[in-house]
Structure 1
Amino acid sequence: MKLRLALLVVVAQVAGVAFMAAQREWIARTGTTITLRTAPIDPHDPMRGEFVRFRYGINTVPARLFRGGLAAWPRLTDYRAQRRLRDTVVYASLRADEHGFAQVIALSDEQPSEGIFLRGRVGYVAESGGIQSVQVRYGVESLYLQQGAARAIEDLARGERRGVPIDTTVAVGGSGLGVLRAFAWEPLGLTVTPDRPPAPPQGQTRAARAPSPLAGITGVTVELKNFGNRDVAIVDLPDGQSFRLRADAEEDPEGYRWVGADRRPSAATVGDARLIVLKPGEAHRVHLNLADPAWWVEGGPGHEPATPLAEVRERWRARFRIEYAPPSPEQLRGRPHAELVRHVPLTSRLFTGGID
């Protein structure tokens, strides 16, 4: 009797695994296809085998997008109650942006009746006097590869293809189940090198001169490199206006903001732009003077007025990336080599306030 029961349990488990595998295969073949932008994080876990782990922009969902029962979460301040929210099943309604990448437009604990959506579970809860955002895992964050392949991707991401984003293709079923199908490297990569502060005088340690990672960062050198196998054109606007400072925690009420966040290049500025053709393997560098008032930041816990990054008081709240944002195709129409421009923005890793 016990043997028969044990066999039934094993058969049920095998049948369950087979059903899930068949379900995922069916979705991979017939599901609605979306594209997500990502970068590899941790390509190897000895407990789970070889795989590439991805992080997406849709993994972080701000409170302003909460719907249904989630709408009350921002007012929840009890830590124990916040912990109980973890693993809550949620549904992220998606819409493709102008570049074709899926973005979250709403997050709810109720399954949407229409549109494309991904089913996920709440992980980390970020709070500051109430829930500000949640981290959601959708089951499409890991792609299993043959032995050694995941490590090779990590080596490329850290070395030869450092700063190059990865785009993934995900199939989505009617219930919101997502299946990661494939990935591809973007042709352009972006890296940022902060200016090095001068060496301290003899007998004085660098720590004494530069107590925070921001001290001495008066500028950065941005490099755009073509890692593809075809020519790519990049747009170099005057005064570094092809680039922007992007706050990492845009929903943080005590975070810093770039004073130029609403700045847009004028038609005259775009007209003066240089279109530079990068052949495979070629790079172009631009230096940004962050001491210039155009690059100052404001806000933070002390509601500081506009100030250089190097002088902000709460350094861990000043979390910024550099974003390359070329003009639109309409703005460049008729310019030589305009057809070679990649109009998808590129964002660097954090260079202030922490690391990715």
Structure 2
Amino acid sequence: MMTGKRLIISALLLALVQIGFLGWIIAGRAAILRDGKQVLLKVEPIDPRDLLRGDYIFLGYEISRIPVKLIANIPADKLVSDDTSIVVRLKKGADGYWQPTTAWFGAAPAPAAADEADIVGHINDGWGLREEGASITPDYGIERFYLPEGEGMAIQNDMRVRPFAVRVAIAGDGTPQIKALMDGDKTLFEEPLY
């Protein structure tokens, strides 16, 4: 009889831990969307369909290709990138879109100024760092935006003829979340907090 009670209590505790963990993930995402610094990034379309999750647009950004010359802390003897994080400092341009100004492998040496934002991405190993005009392609985790069914192809086609952007919220630690998909100045889709 006692082991049955222990089993039930253990199962309840495990369920509470799992619910707490999921709640922590959701609350973290919502905190970024609610409190993160907002930047506007111009997007470049790719392909709009995921068989398991539905319509999406795959987004490329100006910050998706970082020229190696912008990376401030490459050791002189380093020829290729490691599997590591990269911090890209952004500054708002005259056109309203945020562009990269400098980058660092690992961490930035100082916090971003009030008119700047640091976004953290991930770099795979093997990118050449010494070739003339070389660039690397970070993954920021904001490269897909899921849409209501049937919307992906139309938006994908529109992206080829009109300027689209995403409003991104960036947490203090550089973690980004897509907040909204923009067609020019018009908000098409906004992510809910929960």
* TM range, smaller chain: 0.7 to 0.9
1:28 aligns with 2:33: yes
Partner of 2:75: 72
1:127/1:149 CA distance change after superposition, 3 Å: same
Secondary structure (helix, strand or coil) at the match of 1:50 reads strand
Partner of 1:184: 182
Secondary structure (helix, strand or coil) at the match of 1:137 reads coil
Output one character per residue of 1:287-311: Cα deviation in whole Å (capped at 9) or x when no partner: xxxxxxxxxxxxxxxxxxxxxxxxx
1:114/1:126 CA distance change after superposition, 3 Å: same
Question: 2:76, 2:14 → 1: CA distance?
Answer: 40
Task: Report the alpha carbon displacement of residue 178 of structure 1 after superposing the two structures with TM.
Answer: 1.1
1:64/1:5 CA distance change after superposition, 3 Å: farther
Secondary structure (helix, strand or coil) at the match of 2:168 reads strand
Question: 1:31, 1:180 → 2: CA distance?
Answer: 11
The alignment of Structure 1 onto Structure 2 pairs a total of residues equal to: 175
Q: Would you say the 8 A contact 1:117–1:176 is kept in 2?
A: yes
List gaps (5 residues or longer) in structure 1: 188-227, 229-356
Output one character per residue of 1:9-38: Cα deviation in whole Å (capped at 9) or x when no partner: 654444333212212212212221111001
The amino acid of 2:107's aligned partner reads: E
Matching of residues 114-125 of structure 1 within 5 Å: 114-115=111-112, 116-123=117-124
Matching of residues 303-318 of structure 1 within 5 Å: none
Output one character per residue of 1:157-208: Cα deviation in whole Å (capped at 9) or x when no partner: 4xxxx33221111111111111111122238xxxxxxxxxxxxxxxxxxxxx
Task: Report the alpha carbon displacement of residue 128 of structure 1 after superposing the two structures with TM.
Answer: 7.6
Partner of 2:150: 148
Task: Report the alpha carbon displacement of residue 156 of structure 1 after superposing the two structures with TM.
Answer: 3.5
The amino acid of 1:106's aligned partner reads: T
List gaps (5 residues or longer) in structure 2: 1-5, 187-194
1:98 aligns with 2:94: yes
Question: 1:135, 1:4 → 2: CA distance?
Answer: 48
Secondary structure (helix, strand or coil) at the match of 1:127 reads coil
1:110 aligns with 2:110: no
Give the TM-score normalised by structure 2.
0.74
Question: 1:72, 1:7 → 2: CA distance?
Answer: 52
1:60/1:149 CA distance change after superposition, 3 Å: same
Q: Would you say the 8 A contact 2:164–2:184 is kept in 1?
A: yes
**Percent identity between the aligned chains?**
25
Question: 2:41, 2:161 → 1: CA distance?
Answer: 17
Question: 2:152, 2:11 → 1: CA distance?
Answer: 37
Q: Would you say the 8 A contact 2:79–2:129 is kept in 1?
A: no
Q: Would you say the 8 A contact 1:170–1:181 is kept in 2?
A: yes
Task: Report the alpha carbon displacement of residue 96 of structure 1 after superposing the two structures with TM.
Answer: 1.1
Secondary structure (helix, strand or coil) at the match of 2:174 reads coil
1:151/1:113 CA distance change after superposition, 3 Å: same
Secondary structure (helix, strand or coil) at the match of 2:178 reads strand
Matching of residues 1-356 of structure 1 within 5 Å: 11-68=16-73, 71-72=74-75, 75-76=78-79, 82=81, 85-86=82-83, 88-108=84-104, 109-115=106-112, 116-123=117-124, 126-127=127-128, 130=131, 132-157=134-159, 162-186=160-184
Secondary structure (helix, strand or coil) at the match of 2:69 reads helix
1:10/1:118 CA distance change after superposition, 3 Å: farther
Task: Report the alpha carbon displacement of residue 118 of structure 1 after superposing the two structures with TM.
Answer: 0.6
1:112/1:150 CA distance change after superposition, 3 Å: farther
RMSD of aligned Cα (Å): 3.0
